[in-house]
């Protein structure tokens, strides 16, 4: 787990050092650089040392005198089973470097642009071919590891975070078009960031670029792997494959966990009271014995799972550290969490994950396993079952913290563009568009003018490719996996907060073998008395206590700050007002006076619990917008401060 930077273009006298300095938090254990083609092709790397020992430095190159200065690679993430793969490559006569990244030059020679299909793990990577003045960049299928790029002054710049691009001179300006998406339906399109000219390589994305004989730059972006579900047997007249069995899922998940325990640094597990993290802990304990666990303790009923986590850790004989947080701590941590994420948030979950990550690192643990991806692959979210016809009122009663965030409140209407293009409006999209309607009065006149953001989002080719012919639950899960999992959970909540403190996160549920089992299960196989995950619950029977197996989905959410401000934490109101004043005046299209007036009304207007949760999403969006804008040194350009 590291930070990387790459450049293809005219020689740059300053090189990549400023970008590497901006990424130092991602790799506190070392730094490396490589260049070829007269300085036209450069790679840089910051290392968090986890596997491969002291020799596994990057950039890596083939140990071959004919190619030594011409083929190199950098990796952010982990490739599993790398020792066995290295042996096979050597048997084929291909020289391999140390560590998991040492596979990449040899695999590139063998696989070319199809390199992604030969990798098992979470990764963002760049392979540079100096002889032909070209490079290949890949991102893993679900987007666990980030990768952004920009074309600036005739050069292609690639990095793990946008702040590294800003350090190389790319202007740091908030993008009005991207903000229209974020303020209309929360999520950005998979290929967008919040910054002008800075693009995100989407999950499963592939970028190929080269310089021609006149030094002109050519760039092509496509995808090497889909995120969505195959057209499964429940969408066809006859089955195309036998249904997966619980034993197959158990075996795949156990292997994925065991692979992710491969580390030369201390390993732990992020533990809540739910099924996903409990499954990871149970399977990790079978391999490692007592393994340290970490959990958060939230104020407020309905959000804290500390007691359940403690009971589970005791039952498994594993030490547990609880990291207590309160609203004052979450509010104080929010600006640094937002700057690390380079994105927005709708809840204190972003700051909470940052505080949890800091607590884990303080205990000396460098690698953590977590349960991200289970709810997408195993259909665990209640909004997916609402799309399959389950009563929204019943789901809302059973999943209170999700009302107003992923489950729409009464009166939230369908979306015309979705009805036309998908044939229905996914339940979560109804909730997100309702959020956009709440944001609309806070914009300046004309700020929302232009193409409908939802229509623009759903018109992207990947939407039709990953939804056509699928059941509604699978269509919604594919959209959610791209927009929320890849663009918000994995990028902002997980990777950004972990890597800001030099912590590597590994999600076993997003292993290709686990995904292959879960994504070929029918909707009926995933259904169950407490929502989804029936196949997963069956796979873990006997490994977990019955009460854990029967537990419904409990999302990772912090209690609403707005509710606290209206009650016991009113003393924090001046701090909130000051946080809004810090940067809202620098956000294109936003009316700071309207935002402050909205806050005064939100603090005094009568509102029930669900309405407060929905309004809290607006408050956190404003707080995160202000923090992000305030981090830019000028209203229009410059490099933001370090994470």
pLDDT in tens, 330-381: 999 999 999 999 999 999 999 999 999 999 999 999 999 999 999 999 999 9
Q: Which of 239, 230, 244 minimizes the C-alpha distance to 521?
A: 244
pTM: 0.94
- In the three-class reduction of DSSP (H, G, I as helix; E, B as strand; rest coil), residue 283 is classed as helix
Q: For residue 365, is it within any domain?
A: yes
Residues 122 and 40 in one domain: yes
Closest CA to 126 of 286, 3, 13: 3
The 3-state secondary structure of 222-271 reads: EECCCCCCCCCHHHCCCCCCCCCCHHHHHHHHHHHHHHHCCCCCCEEEEC
pLDDT(463) > 90: yes
Confidence of residue 453 (pLDDT cuts 50, 70, 90): very high
Three-state SS string over 43-61 comes to EEEEECCCCCCCCCCCCEE
Q: Total domain count for the chain?
A: 4
Q: What is the pLDDT of residues 548-573, one digit of tens each?
A: 998 888 889 999 999 999 998 999 99
Asked if the structure places residue 555 within a domain, the reply is: no
Residues 39 and 163 reside in one and the same domain: yes
pLDDT at 642 over 50: no
Q: How confident is the model at residue 241 (pLDDT cuts 50, 70, 90)?
A: low
Average pLDDT in the chain: 91
On whether both 26 and 95 belong to a single domain, the answer is yes
Q: Are residues 160 and 13 in the same domain?
A: yes
Confidence of residue 495 (pLDDT cuts 50, 70, 90): very high
pLDDT of 216 above 60:
yes
Gap between the Cα atoms of 402 and 381, Å rounded: 10
Check which CATH number belongs to the domain holding 295 and give it.
3.40.50.620
Nearest-angstrom CA–CA distance, 42 and 24? 18
Name the percent of the chain in helix, strand, coil, to the closest 5: 45, 15, 40
Q: 56 in a domain, yes or no?
A: yes
Residue 386 maps to a domain: no
- Tell me, yes or no, whether 70 and 142 share the same domain: yes
Examine the fold and report which residue of 191, 223, 255 is the final residue of a domain before the chain moves on. Answer: 223
My answer on whether 320 and 413 are in the same domain is no
Using a pLDDT cut of 70, give the percent of the chain over it. 95
Let me know if residue 165 belongs to a domain: yes
Domain boundary among 504, 521, 549: 549
Q: What pLDDT score was predicted for residue 1?
A: 65
pLDDT tens-place string over residues 75-115 = 999 999 999 999 999 999 888 989 999 999 999 999 999 99
Backbone phi, then psi, for 300, in 5-degree steps? 100, 130
Please tell me the predicted confidence (pLDDT) of residue 298.
94
Inter-residue contact 426 to 451 (CB < 8 Å): no
- Assess whether 545 and 568 both reside in one domain: no
Please report which confidence band the pLDDT of residue 635 belongs to, taking 50, 70 and 90 as the band edges: very low
- Note whether 532 and 618 are same-domain residues: no
| 263 is a domain residue | yes
Residue from 530, 526, 536, 554 nearest 229 by CA: 526
The pLDDT of residue 235: 47
Instruction: Inform me whether the pLDDT recorded for 191 exceeds 90.
Output: yes
pLDDT tens track for 17-34: 999 999 999 999 999 999
Note whether 125 and 218 are same-domain residues.
yes
Please tell me the distance from the alpha carbon of residue 111 to that of residue 404, in angstroms, as a whole number. Answer: 47
- Residue 544 · residue 282 · CB < 8 Å: yes
Q: Is 12 exposed, middle or buried (0-12, 13-18, 19+ CB in 10 A)?
A: middle
Q: What is the β-pairing status of strands 41-47 and 2-8?
A: antiparallel
Note whether 414 and 365 are same-domain residues: no
Distance separating alpha carbons of residues 48 and 296, to the nearest angstrom: 25
Say if residues 368 and 267 touch (Cβ distance below 8 Å): yes
296 CB-near residues (< 8 Å, 6+ apart): 304, 306, 322, 323, 324, 325, 352, 355, 356
Where residue 53 falls (left for φ over 0; alpha for ψ -120 to 50; beta otherwise) is left
- Residues 163, 299: one domain? no
Q: Are 141 and 227 in contact (CB under 8 A)?
A: yes
Q: What is the dihedral of CA 497, 500, 504, 508, to 10 degrees?
A: 20
The domain boundary residue, chosen from 450, 476, 502: 476
Residue 496 lies in a domain: yes
In this structure, are 207 and 116 located in the same domain? yes
Range of the domain at 402: 392-476
Q: Is 144 exposed, middle or buried (0-12, 13-18, 19+ CB in 10 A)?
A: buried
In whole angstroms, what is the distance from residue 188 CA to residue 207 CA?
Answer: 20
Q: What is the mean pLDDT of residues 598-609?
A: 91
Domain CATH number, residue 125? 3.60.20.10
pLDDT-derived band at 426, boundaries 50, 70, 90: very high
Average pLDDT estimate for 139-167:
97
> What pLDDT sits at residue 227?
76
Q: Helix (H, G, I), strand (E, B), or coil: what is residue 483?
A: helix
**384 part of a folded domain:** no
Q: Are 199 and 192 in contact (CB under 8 A)?
A: yes
Decide if 298 contacts 304 (C-beta within 8 A).
yes
The lowest-confidence range among 301-315, 400-414, 594-608 is 400-414
The pLDDT tens digits of the residues spanning 274-285 come to: 999 999 999 999
Neighbours of 637 (CB within 10 A): 14
């Amino acid at each position: 787990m590291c930070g990387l930077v790459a450049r293809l273009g005219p020689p740059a006298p300053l090189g990549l050092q400023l970008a590497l300095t901006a990424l130092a938090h991602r790799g506190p254990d070392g730094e490396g650089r490589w260049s070829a083609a007269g300085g036209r092709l450069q790679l840089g790397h910051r290392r968090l040392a986890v596997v491969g020992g002291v020799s596994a430095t990057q950039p890596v190159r083939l140990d071959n005198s004919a190619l030594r200065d011409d083929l190199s690679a950098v990796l952010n993430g982990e490739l599993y089973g790398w020792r066995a793969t290295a042996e096979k490559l050597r048997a084929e006569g291909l020289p391999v470097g140390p560590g998991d990244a040492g596979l990449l030059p040899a695999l590139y020679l063998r696989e070319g642009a199809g390199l992604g299909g030969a990798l098992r793990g979470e990764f963002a990577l760049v392979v540079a071919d100096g002889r032909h003045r070209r490079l290949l960049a890949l991102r893993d299928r679900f987007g666990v590891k980030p990768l952004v790029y920009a074309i600036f002054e005739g050069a292609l710049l690639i990095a793990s975070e946008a702040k590294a691009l800003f350090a190389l001179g790319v202007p740091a300006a908030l993008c009005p078009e991207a903000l229209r998406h974020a303020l209309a339906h929360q999520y950005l399109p998979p290929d967008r960031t919040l910054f002008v000219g800075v693009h995100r390589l989407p999950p499963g994305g592939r970028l190929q670029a080269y310089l021609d004989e006149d030094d002109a730059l050519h760039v092509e972006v496509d995808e090497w792997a889909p995120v969505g579900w195959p057209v499964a047997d429940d969408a066809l007249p006859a089955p195309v494959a036998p249904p997966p069995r619980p034993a197959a899922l158990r075996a795949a998940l156990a292997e994925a966990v065991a692979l992710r325990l491969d580390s030369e640094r201390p390993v732990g597990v992020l533990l809540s009271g739910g099924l996903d993290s409990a499954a990871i802990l149970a399977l990790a304990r079978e391999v490692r014995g007592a393994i340290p666990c970490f959990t958060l303790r939230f104020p407020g009923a309905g959000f804290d799972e500390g007691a359940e986590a403690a009971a589970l850790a005791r039952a498994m004989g594993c030490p547990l550290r609880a990291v207590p947080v309160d609203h004052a701590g979450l509010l104080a941590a929010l600006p640094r969490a937002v700057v690390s994420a380079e994105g927005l948030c709708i809840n204190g979950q972003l700051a909470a994950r940052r505080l949890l990550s800091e607590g884990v690192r303080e205990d000396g643990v460098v690698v953590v396993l977590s349960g991200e991806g289970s709810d997408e692959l195993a259909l665990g979210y209640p909004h997916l079952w609402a799309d399959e016809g389950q009563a929204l009122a019943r789901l809302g009663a059973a999943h209170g913290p999700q009302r107003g965030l992923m489950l729409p409140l009464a009166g939230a209407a369908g979306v015309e563009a979705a009805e036309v293009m998908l044939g229905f409006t996914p339940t979560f999209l109804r909730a997100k568009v309702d959020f956009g309607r709440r944001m609309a009065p806070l914009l300046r006149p004309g700020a929302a003018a232009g193409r409908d953001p939802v229509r623009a989002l759903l018109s992207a080719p990947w939407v039709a490719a990953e939804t056509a012919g699928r059941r509604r639950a699978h269509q919604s899960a594919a959209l959610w996996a791209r927009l929320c999992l890849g663009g918000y959970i994995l990028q902002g909540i997980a990777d950004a907060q972990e890597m800001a403190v030099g912590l590597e996160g590994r999600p076993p549920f997003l292993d290709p073998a686990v995904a292959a089992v879960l994504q070929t299960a029918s909707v009926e196989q995933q259904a169950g008395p407490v929502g989804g995950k029936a196949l997963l619950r069956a796979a873990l029977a006997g490994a977990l206590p019955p009460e854990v197996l029967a537990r419904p989905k409990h999302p990772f959410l912090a209690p609403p700050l707005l509710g606290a401000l209206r009650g016991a934490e009113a003393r924090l109101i001046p701090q909130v007002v000051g946080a809004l004043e810090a940067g809202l005046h620098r956000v294109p299209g936003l009316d700071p006076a309207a935002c402050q007036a909205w806050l005064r009304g939100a603090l005094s207007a009568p509102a029930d619990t669900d309405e407060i949760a929905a309004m809290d999403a607006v408050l956190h969006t404003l707080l995160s917008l202000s923090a992000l804008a305030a981090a830019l040194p000028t209203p229009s350009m410059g490099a933001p401060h370090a994470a």
